[in-house]
Amino acid sequence: MNVGDWTERFQGTRALPRPVRDRLLEIARVRTYPKGRQLFAPQNIPDSLLFLYEGTIRVSQTSDNGREIVLYRLEAGESCVLTTACMLAEEAYNAEGVAETDVIGVTLPKPAFDGLVAEEPAFRDFVFAAYSRRLIDLLRVVDDVAFGRIDVRLADRLLTLVGANKEIAATHAQIASELGTAREVISRVLHDFQKRGYIAQSRGRITITDKPALRVLAGNA
C-alpha cells in the first residue's frame, strides 16, 4: 500500500522537519483494514500508535449485559490515543474500536512514538490535543446520557449519520447501540418522527425528509 507522503496529512507530522518526516516514512507501516475489522479491544491492544489516513473508526463501549454505546468516531487525519492510554492503564475497561469503513492507517511503533514526543514539540502538541479531544468527547457523552432526552439525542445522531445525504442504512438496533439505549425505544421515537413527517422508513433504511425540523429538535437550529 503506497499512499505517498502521508506525513502531509496529519497536523502532528506536517509541521516536522523534513529529515524527521523522511525517517517516519521509513519506520511507520501503512496498512489497510477491511470494514468491520476490530482494531482494538480490551484483549487486543496494539503496541503502536495508529494514525488514521482514510476511513472512519467507531469507538464504542459494551456493558456487562450486552448493551453498547458509541463513544466517538475517529476521522481521517486523527490519531487513536485511546490505545496508548489503554497500554498504560492497568484498570479494567471495555472500549473497542471497529473500522466503520475500509480503513487506511499508519502505525507507529511505541519507541518511535516516544522519541517523537520527546524531541518534537509540534508532535507533542498534536498528541496532547488528541487526548484533549477525546476527553471533551467523553464529557459530551456523559452529558447526553445523564441529562439528555432521547428524542433530542436521536435527532442529533440521525443528522450526524446522514451527513450530506438523504438516507441512512441502519437498523433500529444499530441506532440504539449508537445511543446506548434499547431497540424498542428507538422504534417508538422513529415511529413518532415518521408520524410528524420528519423521516420515512423502510426495512434497514431511514430517509430524512425534514432536516430543518430535526435540527430544531436537536437544538442545532
Partner DNA sequence: TGTCATCATGTGACAATGTCACTGAAGGCG
Partner DNA sequence: CGCCTTCAGTGACATTGTCACATGATGACA
Among 45, 129, 161, 213, binds a copy of itself (CB under 8 A): 129
Beta carbon nearer to DNA, 105 or 180: 180
13: buried, middle or exposed (CB in 10 Å: 19+, 13-18, 0-12)?
A: buried
Beta carbon nearer to DNA, 150 or 159: 150
Longest dimension (CA), the chain: 61
- Residue 166 CA: distances (Å) to CA of 69, 169, 196, 200: 24, 10, 17, 10
3-state secondary structure 48-114: EEEEEEECCEEEEEECCCCCEEEEEEECCCCEEHHHHHHHHCCCCCCEEEEECCCEEEEEEEHHHHH
Per CB under 8 A, does 110 bind a copy of itself? Answer: no
Per-residue binding letters, 13-52, with a copy of itself (x by CB under 8 A):
----------------------------------------
Per CB under 8 A, does 117 bind a copy of itself? Answer: yes
Among 20, 39, 57, 69, binds a copy of itself (CB under 8 A): 69
Residues that bind DNA (CB under 7 A): 65, 67, 147, 149-151, 171-173, 180-185, 187-191, 201-205
The count of chain residues that interact with a copy of itself, using the rule CB under 8 A, is 42
Select from a copy of itself, DNA, none the partner in contact with residue 203, using the beta carbon and a kind-dependent cut-off of 5 to 8 Å: DNA
CB of 65 to a copy of itself, least distance (A): 7
Per CB under 8 A, does 221 bind a copy of itself? Answer: no
Kindly report the number of other CB atoms within 10 A of residue 64's CB atom.
6
CA-wise closest residue to 96 among 21, 167, 44: 44
Locate 65 and state its grid cell. 449485559
Beta carbon nearer to DNA, 114 or 143: 143
Give per-residue burial for 195-208: e unless 16+ CB within 10 Å, then b. eeebbeeeeeebeb
Beta carbon nearer to a copy of itself, 158 or 176: 176
- Rounded CA gap, 84 and 92, in Å? 15
Residues that bind a copy of itself (CB under 8 A): 61, 63-65, 67, 69, 71, 82, 84-86, 88-89, 91, 93-95, 114, 117-119, 121, 124-125, 128-129, 131-136, 138-143, 145-147, 180
